[in-house]
Structure 1
Amino acid sequence: MPVSLPHNAEASAILRGLRVAVDSGLFPAELESDAKWVVDMINNRQSSCADIGIICKDIVYVMTQFDISVKFVSRQANRAAHALAKLALVYDRNFTWEEDFPLSIASVIWEDSLP
């Protein structure tokens, strides 16, 4: 599925996140995204013939099979995800961190943990 459009990339990332949660048995789960338009499309069960509509249908299907929800969070609340996305641009493969995380995003995670 082409992910050249930002919304397609965001929806594809959500779908990959859901699949990781399912494969790891991490449910009930709540996945957060700062892509409001995509989150609204998923949660309102809107369909489209475009690529994003197909991706969103897959997301909704996974959500209905498992106790998983998708919610919108502001970009400021999602800084660790953006740091990871930037890091991912350097690599040609997928990574999953179950306990530790890359040291390059440690400061972002520490700042996010502050009240």
Structure 2
Amino acid sequence: MVFRLSRVSWVGRDFAGLLQAAAGSGNGFCYSAAAAEACAIRDALLACIDNGFVNVIIEPDAKVIIQMLRKELTHDFSLECLLGDIALLERRLTSVTFAFVSRENNRAAHSVAKFVFKESRAFVWDCIGSEFLFNILAPDVNISIRL
């Protein structure tokens, strides 16, 4: 089995699209792209638990992983431990929904992944975020501001 350098990232937003937290690691190793996607989901669920988020929607662009988590596809045995971790973490939250989104609609998470990969280390952002992340997320915010 060959392990490749991987990047894992997630972005957490509230119902209005405002950044709550984001993180990524650009120096991990995974044996497949599917394993990296499952690691990102596991990391996102851990962050939700750590931050007290209890009703969450996880929106990766990993359609096969989502189908496995929804039990629409048989588990890939090489991912069994990661999928088991995700199932255990899921039970610690009130509500978890897994919803596939296209790569184009997952720009924020991919931008975090590119950033941490380039920096070759892990980053964590709170609700302030970084300038590049703010600029990606700002058009999606669903609130109007009036003075």
What TM-score bracket applies, with the shorter chain setting the length? 0.7 to 0.9
Higher share in strand: 2
Supply the distance in 2 between the matched residues of 1:66 and 1:23 (Cα, whole angstroms).
11
Secondary structure at the aligned position of 1:72 is classed as coil
Q: Is the 8 A contact 1:15 1:59 kept in 2?
A: yes
Secondary structure at the aligned position of 2:54 is classed as coil
Secondary structure at the aligned position of 1:65 is classed as coil
Shift of 1:6: 0.5
Q: Is the 8 A contact 1:63 1:69 kept in 2?
A: no
Higher share in helix: 1
Equivalenced residue count is 113
Supply the distance in 1 between the matched residues of 2:103 and 2:140 (Cα, whole angstroms).
12
Supply the distance in 1 between the matched residues of 2:114 and 2:81 (Cα, whole angstroms).
26
Match of 1:107 in 2: 135
Match of 2:103 in 1: 75
Match of 2:115 in 1: 87
Aligned-residue Cα RMSD (Å) equals 2.2
Q: Deviations over 1:33-66 (max 9, x none)?
A: 011111111111743431x121011101211231
Larger Rg: 2
Q: Deviations over 1:43-100 (max 9, x none)?
A: 11743431x1210111012112312222211112111111111111033443322211
Unaligned runs of 5+ in 2: 4-28, 143-147
Identity %: 27
Q: Is the 8 A contact 1:77 1:112 kept in 2?
A: no
| Length-normalised TM-score, structure 1 | 0.83
Unaligned runs of 5+ in 1: none
Evaluate the alpha carbon distance shift between residue 31 and residue 17 of structure 1 in structure 2; reply closer, same or farther with a 3 A threshold: same
Q: Is the 8 A contact 1:33 1:78 kept in 2?
A: yes
Q: Is the 8 A contact 1:30 1:69 kept in 2?
A: yes
